[in-house]
Amino acid sequence: MTKRPIKVALFSEVLKEHLDGVTNTLYHIIDRIPKDRFEYLFITSYPPSETVNLPFPVITVPKIAFPTNPDYPISLPFFNGKLRAALDEFAPDIIHLTTPFTLGNYALSYGEERGVPILATYHTHFISYIEYYFRYAPVFSHLLDFSGRRYMRWFYNRCDLTYVPTASIMDELLDCGIERRRMVVWGRGIDTELFNPTRRDDAFMDGLCGAGTQRVLFVSRLVWEKELRTLAAVYELFRETHPRTVKFVVTGDGPRRKELERLMPDAVFTGKLVKKDLAKVYASSDVFLFPSITETFGNVVLEAMASGLPPVVAAQGGPKGIVRDGDTGLHARPKDAADFHRKIALLLDDPALAKETGRRAAAYALAQQWDTLCEDMFSSYERIAERFAPLLPEKAHGVAI
């Protein structure tokens, strides 16, 4: 018998490159797939651009795009009549899904029907979005929250294993009723060759913000669930206390950008930046502000830390699990603009504290290596495929017969 690669069918609503932290994570995995050990088939409704040459085939399914947020479509896999036949021909040993919605449901159903192990990565804490989009309908919001938690329990307890980004998010999922035995913490890595303190460029930031100013940086897609209202409230407090010395820099784009520009008229809006331009903004700022409470991880927080930038984050969700309060950064009470203001001012007014916090943050980030994390995932694939192989009559422990 000759050992053959394990076949993985990976379902992701979006494979468009550089869109957000989810797609960045997926591409870190894709770039490290050992082709002698694994063969992939990708299923998505939003494929990468033609300039991206993925090493394995992609099946595109129909979708419905929302005019207000076209980057995040609803997949319609049941309208692709050839998908099931293509999956049967591929004969996956593992189903890996990244979404609990229509595409994830299709993957879950297919895996259960074929007796294939089902793995999931938990990327987005959707139930935490409810209060942002239904804030003026509290009864409906409460009903959606109850239904959402019940749905998540139903969905993820049918997966054999879910990779959860932080222990703090695992605690929240346990509260939803997801079984502990079905979850494992799998973090996120950082490219420290790209994101590091040597990217600092004071002349560049002086051109954006004016010489002699201190820079508070926020990086994110500009949508309400990133807690933009708290961001704007913190900005207003600094206009009162540090009107000429502190400059807010907002990097990113999204449907709420114009509204945020009205709320923060003196802030610098750079638009979306990637790679070296983004790394330069991180390393050239003084404090990183991230008030979002909807993150499962917070890739931008780790990027800021790797750049030597001390972070002030909400004490809830994924960033809470990344930043050690009083060590590699500071926690602030969620949605409490005054507390964020105090913590940021503490760092701005004490350069020695900010420098030491940034040094410890960078040291922590340096240890978060994608190569190690991806190998952990690939090794878990192999263990799971071997454990399930006796249940699959046409395979024996990942070996062709």
**Residue position matching structure tokens 């035995």:** 181
Decide if 285 is inside a domain: yes
Q: Sign of the CA dihedral 353, 355, 360, 362?
A: positive
Q: Are residues 243 and 114 in the same domain?
A: no
- Total-model pTM: 0.78
Q: Quick one: 160 and 254 in the same domain?
A: no
If asked whether residues 298 and 234 sit together in one domain, one would say yes
Regarding whether 163 and 219 lie in a shared domain, the answer is no
The reply to whether 398 falls in a domain is no
How far apart CA 218 and CA 215 sit, in angstroms, is 10
CB half-sphere exposure, 100, CA atoms < 13 A: 20
| Residue the block writes with tokens 């990327």 | 123
Quick one: 349 and 276 in the same domain? Answer: yes
Residue 257 included in any domain: yes
C-alpha dist (Å) from residue 312 to 54, 228, 324, 393: 37, 15, 10, 53
What is the separation, in whole angstroms, between the first and last Cα of the chain?
6
Using DSSP's 3-state secondary structure scheme, residue 194 falls into: coil
Q: Do the beta carbons of residue 97 and residue 120 sit within 8 Å? A: yes
Shared domain for 173 and 300, answered yes or no, is no
Task: Please answer whether residues 103 and 69 qualify as being in contact, where contact means their C-beta atoms are separated by less than 8 angstroms.
Answer: no
Let me know if residue 1 belongs to a domain: no
> Which of these, 196, 193, 366, lies nearest to 280 by C-alpha position?
196
Give 75-108 pLDDT, tens digit per residue.
999 999 899 999 999 999 999 999 999 999 999 9
Asked, for residue 154, whether it belongs to a domain, the answer is: yes
Distance CA 18, CA 275 (A): 10
Does residue 317 lie within any of the structural domains? yes
Same domain, 258 and 387: no
Distance in angstroms (rounded) separating the CA atoms of residues 152 and 173? 9
Cβ(253)–Cβ(226) below 8 Å:
no
Rounded CA gap, 19 and 22, in Å?
Answer: 8
pLDDT given at position 143: 84
Where do the DSSP E strands lie in 45-139?
58-60, 63-66, 69-75, 94-97, 118-121
**Are residues 68 and 52 located together in one domain of the fold?**
yes
The token pair at 327 is: 């060590």
- Angle 372-377-383 from CA coordinates, rounded to 5°: 125
Q: Mention every residue, 6+ apart, whose C-beta is less than 8 A from residue 193.
A: none
Indicate whether 401 belongs to any domain: no
Q: Are residues 44 and 115 in the same domain?
A: yes
Residue whose entry in the numeric block shows the structure tokens 């600094």: 238
Looking at the structure, do residues 68 and 50 belong to the same domain, yes or no? Answer: yes
Residues 6+ apart with CB under 8 A from 88: none
CATH classification at residue 289: 3.40.50.2000
Q: What's the CA gap between 398 and 387, in Å, rounded?
A: 10
For 100, 139, 253, 290, the CA distances from 131, given in Å and listed in that order, are: 19, 11, 22, 18
Specify if 373 maps to a domain.
yes
Count of structural domains, the chain: 2
List the chain pLDDT tens, one digit each, 401 residues: 457 899 999 999 999 988 887 888 999 999 999 999 999 999 999 999 887 888 999 999 999 987 666 777 889 999 998 999 999 999 999 999 999 999 999 999 999 999 999 999 998 777 666 676 666 677 777 788 888 889 999 999 999 999 999 888 899 899 999 999 999 999 999 999 999 999 999 999 999 999 999 999 999 999 999 999 999 999 999 999 998 899 999 999 999 999 999 999 999 999 999 999 999 999 999 999 999 998 888 899 999 999 999 999 999 988 998 999 999 999 999 999 999 999 999 999 999 999 999 999 999 999 999 999 999 999 999 999 988 875 444 443 333 22
Q: Is there a contact between 242 and 248 (Cβ–Cβ < 8 Å)?
A: no
Domain that holds residue 75: 6-190+369-391
177 and 293 together in one domain: no
Task: Please give the full DSSP string across 278-347, using - where no structure is assigned.
Answer: HHHHHHT-SEEEE--S-BSS-HHHHHHHHTTPPEEEESSSHHHHHS-BTTTBEEE-TT-HHHHHHHHHHH
Co-location of 225 and 299 in the same domain = yes
Backbone φ and ψ for 13, nearest 5 degrees, come out as -55, -40
Q: Is 372 exposed, middle or buried (0-12, 13-18, 19+ CB in 10 A)?
A: exposed
Q: What are phi and psi of 304, to 5 degrees?
A: -65, -45
Question: What distance lies between CA 390 and its chain's CA centroid?
Answer: 35
